């Protein structure tokens, strides 16, 4: 899996729950949400465009920050 880093303009638990909901619906993803820093880290076989479109379904401003090297 590639680990991708996204910015999502989340301000509260409700926002992070929306992100969780759309990613679960997409399926095939493992993810971590860093609410204070407005980041979402996703491990997935889906391409970046698919992941970004999915995150945008939350209605939040979302952008791709790049690949994160696996630690």
Convert the chain into a string of H (helix), E (strand) and C (coil): CEEEEEEECCCCHHHHHHHHHHHHHHCCEEEEEECCCCEEEEEECCCHHHHHHHHHCCCCCEEEEEEECCC
pLDDT at 1 over 60: no
- CATH code of the domain covering residue 23: 3.30.70.100
For residue 17, give its domain range. Answer: 3-68
Domain count, the chain: 1
Whether 64 contacts 48, CB under 8 Å: yes
Please report the pLDDT score of residue 68 as a whole number: 79
Please report the pLDDT score of residue 47 as a whole number: 94
pLDDT at 23 over 90: yes
Q: Which residue from 36, 58, 56, 44 is spatially nearest to 5, judged by alpha carbons?
A: 44
Over residues 34-64, the pLDDT tens digits come to 999 999 999 999 999 999 999 999 999 999 9
């Amino acid at each position: 899996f590639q680990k991708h880093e996204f910015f999502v303009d989340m301000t509260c638990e409700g926002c992070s729950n929306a992100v969780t909901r759309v990613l679960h619906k997409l399926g095939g993803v493992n993810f971590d949400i860093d609410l204070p820093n407005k980041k979402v880290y996703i491990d997935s076989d889906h391409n970046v465009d698919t992941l970004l479109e999915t995150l945008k379904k939350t209605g939040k401003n979302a952008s791709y920050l790049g690949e994160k090297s696996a630690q």
